[in-house]
Amino acid sequence: MADEMQTKGDEQRSYVVAGAKLSCTQGDQTSILKMPVSHGVYTKDKAKMNTMDYKPYVNIQPFGLCQTLSNPTVAAATAANNGVLKPMPCTPVVTMPWINGKSDQLIENSPALINQSTNMCIYCGTIKVEDDGQE
- Single pTM value for the model: 0.90
Digits of tens for pLDDT over the chain (135 positions)?
456 565 555 668 999 999 999 999 999 999 999 999 999 999 999 999 999 999 999 999 999 999 999 999 999 999 999 999 999 999 999 999 999 999 999 999 999 999 999 999 999 999 999 999 999
Q: How far apart are CA 25 and CA 11, in angstroms?
A: 20
Backbone angles phi, psi at 89, to 5 degrees: -55, 135
**Which one, of 88, 113, 131, lies nearest residue 15 by Cα?**
113
Backbone angles phi, psi at 72, to 5 degrees: -60, -30
Separation in Å, CA 131 to CA 35, 90, 99: 16, 20, 17
The answer to whether 4 and 40 have CB atoms below 8 angstroms apart is: no
The answer to whether 31 and 60 have CB atoms below 8 angstroms apart is: yes
Q: How distant is the alpha carbon of residue 2 from its chain centre?
A: 19
Q: How far apart are CA 46 and CA 52, in angstroms?
A: 17
